[in-house]
Each structure stands twice: as C-alpha cells, then as structure tokens.
C-alpha cells in the first residue's frame, strides 16, 4: 500500500525522493556482506554461521526462525 502511494506521488511529481527511497528498500538484500544474513528487521546483519544455532542474534530473533 505504501509503495503504491509512493509510486503515485512520484508520478505526480509531488515527492521527487520517493523513487530513491523505493530503490533503497529494494537494495535491502545487499546491506550485508557475503556470508552474512539480513535479519527480518532489514537493518541487522549477522554471520550466516549464527543462523539456527539456538542463540537469537537478530533483535527480532529471525535468525532462529528459519529452521527448515
């Protein structure tokens, strides 16, 4: 919903920075270095070796919620 709103604002020229913000959101997966895991908060990076090790490393504990 919010991305649609940003798109509308961008197209109408009311919010020139909306596209930049949207692109930034699309690059979340590149915030972390190779071998790191991006927590589901899209802010925190932890080593992939810390995934599912029984000890929550992400603030939202998403590194422990990937048990397959």
Shortest Cβ distance from residue 25 to Ca ion (Å)?
25
| Nearer Cβ to Ca ion (24/59) | 59
Position 50 contacts Ca ion (CB under 5 A): yes
The helix/strand/coil state of 68 is coil
Cα–Cα dist 60/62, whole Å = 5
Position 28 contacts Ca ion (CB under 5 A): no
Position 60 contacts Ca ion (CB under 5 A): no
User: Residue 14: phi, psi to the nearest 5?
Assistant: -80, -25
Q: Count the Cβ atoms, other than its own, within 10 Å of residue 18.
A: 19
User: Given the rule CB under 5 A, which residues bind Ca ion?
Assistant: 50, 53, 55, 57, 63
């Amino acid at each position: 919903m919010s991305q649609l709103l940003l798109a509308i604002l961008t197209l109408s020229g009311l919010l020139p920075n909306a596209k930049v913000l949207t692109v930034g959101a699309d690059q979340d997966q590149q915030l972390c270095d190779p071998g790191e895991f991006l927590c589901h908060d899209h802010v925190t990076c932890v080593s992939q070796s810390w995934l599912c090790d029984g000890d929550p490393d992400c603030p939202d504990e998403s590194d422990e919620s990937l048990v397959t």
